[in-house]
Amino acid sequence: MTKINVKAYRVREGQKVDLRKWPTLTVPDYKTEKQYSKILETHISELSAQQQMLYAKGQEAVLLIFQAMDAAGKDGVIRHVMSGVNPQGCEVFSFKQPSATELKHDFLWRTTRELPERGRIGIFNRSYYEEVLITRVHSAVLKNEALPKILLRDKNIWQDRYRSIVNFEDYLTRNGTRVLKFFLHLSKAEQRKRFLDRIDQPDKNWKFSDSDLKEREFWKDYQKAYAECLSHTSTEAAPWHIVPADDKLNGRLIVSQIILNAFAGMKLSYPTVSTKRRKELRDLRRSLAG
């Protein structure tokens, strides 16, 4: 099966991002839904095989980070792309509004506690990146973090947080955790369509919140905050990928291909067994065989 070319979606280190120039919809990598299902099924099977080797080896970890505007399809991407992965080797964390305890710590603390162990895949549905997104769009949120006043007045606070994030991800990489980051790039028109769908279909009503509509009013502010964030925190070791999200199916194929490419670069294999151990296993087998 032909590999999907995903190079165009990667933000190069030092690249200045203007989201108006990045597509939210591209020519799909499938011609029919049947073909989409076949490609995704192949990707899922390959991901499962790679995850098994990651788990067996137990020396490296993978962290997948998903950020997006409301209704961009983060939950769907995670559910479909990772559906074949053994739950024993994968955990998903959704980070909502910080608790009182979490607000008493530095902004990386609550997510650091949930980092994947060696041999496992960790998935962050939203992450520490909220601390340079929602806190930037809504200054009241930042003030609730009980920071020293000198930091609240510091005009370099966002640059400092970008630097902290880059240093943190560099640290993770140097310690065996591969970091992949996905921004699901949704158009404002498509978000409106999906919001209406959630209101009109009773079985989707639970997905819609009044706050979603209020946040939509800050669309331009969020686009600016995302652009700044992507520009300053995409690195060679921990790259951002801007995934067109108006077509949910194609977005899933792009994400799964990027993850597969990353696994291929890790050159995983099952642990080798020494000559002495193979002899012991043969002896044990003869014993079991009677």
Residue matched to tokens 């788990």: 55
Give me the chain's average pLDDT, please.
95
From 217, 194, 235, select the one nearest 65 (Cα to Cα): 235
Model pLDDT for residues 13-50, shown as the tens digit of each residue: 999 999 999 999 999 999 999 999 999 999 999 999 99
Nearest to 245 by CA among 236, 254, 258, 234: 254
Domain of 39, in residue numbers? 7-289
Domain membership of residue 1 (yes or no) is no
Q: Does residue 2 lie within any of the structural domains?
A: no
Tokens representing residue 8 in the block: 């165009």
d(CA 247, CA 26): 8
Q: What is the pLDDT of residue 112?
A: 97
Over residues 119-135, mean pLDDT: 97
> By the 8 A CB rule, do 165 and 132 touch?
yes
CATH code (residue 35): 3.40.50.300
Half-sphere exposure at residue 212, Cβ-oriented, CA atoms within 13 angstroms:
18
Query: Is residue 184 domain-resident?
Result: yes
pLDDT tier, 257 (very low <50, low <70, confident <90, very high otherwise)? very high
pLDDT band at 1 (very low <50, low <70, confident <90, very high): low
Please say if the pLDDT value at position 118 is more than 90.
yes
Q: Give the pLDDT confidence of 194-226 residue by residue, as tens digits.
A: 999 999 999 999 989 888 899 999 999 999 999
Give the mean pLDDT of 113-121: 97
CA 101 to centroid of chain Cα atoms: 25
What is 247-287 written as a DSSP string? Answer: SHHHHHHHHHHHHHHHHHHHT--PPP--HHHHHHHHHHHHH
Number of domains forming the structure of the chain = 1
